[in-house]
Amino acid sequence: MEPYFIPFSTGARGCLGRNISYLEQMVVLATIVHRYEFALPSPEFQLIRQEDFDLLVGELPLKIWRRELSVDTVQP
């Protein structure tokens, strides 16, 4: 069912705020990736997926910690 999921609709009557929403999502994601480090708990981890009406994803344990900012990366 994944190819049929269209969150903002399509065509002439599609969502007017689609592009602003995409921009905000990109800014938030870039900010999170810039500020935090991510790691899986072990290299052998396998993600479990189950497709019913929507795509259901199993547990995804992550280690998350804030990056250390060095003097070189801070701008006035």
The answer to whether 49 and 56 have CB atoms below 8 angstroms apart is yes
Give a yes or no: residue 45 inside a domain: yes
pTM of the predicted model, to two decimals?
0.58
Domain count, the chain: 1
74: pLDDT strictly greater than 70: no
Give a yes or no: residue 75 inside a domain: no
Structural domain that includes position 37: 2-66
15 assigned ligand-binding residue: yes
pLDDT of residue 71: 61
Give a yes or no: residue 76 inside a domain: no
DSSP state of 70: P
Phi, psi at 35, each rounded to 5°? -90, -20
Task: Quick: pLDDT tens for 2-55.
Answer: 777 777 787 777 888 888 999 999 999 999 999 999 988 888 888 777 777 666
d(CA 20, CA 16): 9
